[in-house]
Structure 1
């Protein structure tokens, strides 16, 4: 199967090794991976901040960049959920772009959904000898609708012990510009989330969202806490 990959801004700028692992995993399960170097952003940051005109410009570019793709997969439910659920709001007054949107929405997938539900793959030969807890991102749960898919993949990782935290469906406090506009509230939410993770005795917090992980990791490092963060993709690519 030939697929195009979309690499979200956070991963492109801060976690390029995760992008490499993402591509390697897709190739491992037999995908013919194509990367369009012209790709940029899905437009979500501008949209969430109320800059809809700017969001339309970026979203239009995304539609153009992936117009010829058969399938588009990204290691983020936030980006894919935004494309699926909000692009039609941006282009509801433009018949041509709305047509492109409706076509594109059907071929955009989050990584774990694509693996588990479409390729029917859960075993990737990974080994990760650590105790972990899983953070369900708001976008993953509420925008895209994944919950069991990441856990099915983690359950097949050799040496990994998954320990669920309490209040596991609560936000980590990031929320894009929310963390900047409401810093004190965001920090309190992050503190609560990390404390719940620490109580499990886990060595790592795993998630499908690089932005959530970056937010929690900043708090963890500032407080010098005995836990780390890691993207699910990097766990699945691990061999020890």
Structure 2
């Protein structure tokens, strides 16, 4: 696509989970960004953001991933990720990784200033307020921890969802409560996850949405084990009207054939 001079150039940071398990989220993000008047590129050189290494205390490995990401994306006007946790890593943790390094500190800070979570970018930067799509469904939205607490993503996805014709957004009792996916010890995470899925089911909705695939995959697995028919989808898929793929946690015939 030929770029117009007025269009910002956006680098789409797809994330590892989206690339490996749910590419439709990446395509949905691309569609939304283009509808918001952006020229979008997906650099093939992108790799993991380094969050797993950072969370494990492997600072050298995290820095190596961060250097690669900065070098790959720093030429863009903006860097957008359809994930609160990955966007938070790029925006809030990269500067601390390079604090005091005369070669990288300013470079990391400049890069971090360009980074945005997808719905936040659409609403806060591009001024998107409504979407021309329809979905006849009742949905509830889970506020993933990193996007909410590190980036302030709360109202933005809801504002866009409320513009969708036919969609009924119903809040669960505790949408901001952790789903347990980031807790490493099963004895601690299981009760958190059970409380979360109980809350989701009590909302009486057909669909669970969130902006972080890691959370969605864990909640989809638990809901399925509990016998629930609630569909689980990334918010970008709904906002873009790209619902051809089966809900998260359910495989279609093509996927099953490939796994045999």
The reply to whether TM is greater than 0.5 is yes
Matches within 5 A, 1:85-164: 85-164=92-171
Where do 4+ consecutive residues of structure 1 move more than 4 Å? Answer: none
Unmatched tracts of structure 1, length 5 or more: none
Q: Does 1:194 align with 2:197?
A: yes
> Partner of 1:136: helix, strand, or coil?
coil
Deviation at 1:123, TM superposition (A): 1.4
Counterpart in 2 of 1:50? 57
Counterpart in 1 of 2:3? none
Q: Does 1:70 align with 2:77?
A: yes
Unmatched tracts of structure 2, length 5 or more: 1-6, 244-260
> Partner of 1:173: helix, strand, or coil?
coil
Task: From 207, 226, 241, give the equivalent of 1:204.
Answer: 207
Q: Which has the higher contact order (CA 8 A, sep 6+)?
A: 1
Q: Which digits, 9 at most, give the CA deviation of each residue in 1:139-188, with x for residues without a partner?
A: 1110111111111011001110011001221100011xx3xx30122121
Measured in 2, the distance between the counterparts of 1:23 and 1:239 equals 11
Deviation at 1:223, TM superposition (A): 2.0
Counterpart in 2 of 1:174? 181
- Determine if contact 2:120/2:156 at 8 Å carries over to the other structure: yes
Counterpart in 1 of 2:35? 28
Deviation at 1:191, TM superposition (A): 1.1
Counterpart in 1 of 2:186? 183
Q: Which digits, 9 at most, give the CA deviation of each residue in 1:57-92, with x for residues without a partner?
A: 101111111121111111111111122211122111
- Return 151-160 or 29-38, whichever deviates more: 29-38
Instruction: Please report the RMSD computed on the Cα atoms of aligned residues, expressed in angstroms.
Output: 1.3
Counterpart in 1 of 2:217? 214
- Determine if contact 1:23/1:33 at 8 Å carries over to the other structure: yes
Deviation at 1:116, TM superposition (A): 0.6
Deviation at 1:239, TM superposition (A): 6.9
Relative to structure 1, the CA distance from residue 81 to residue 218 in structure 2 (aligned partners, 3 Å threshold; closer, same or farther) is same
TM-score, scaled to structure 2: 0.88
Measured in 2, the distance between the counterparts of 1:224 and 1:85 equals 38
- Determine if contact 1:128/1:239 at 8 Å carries over to the other structure: no
Q: Does 1:225 align with 2:228?
A: yes
Higher helix share: 1
- Determine if contact 2:119/2:157 at 8 Å carries over to the other structure: yes
Deviation at 1:226, TM superposition (A): 2.2
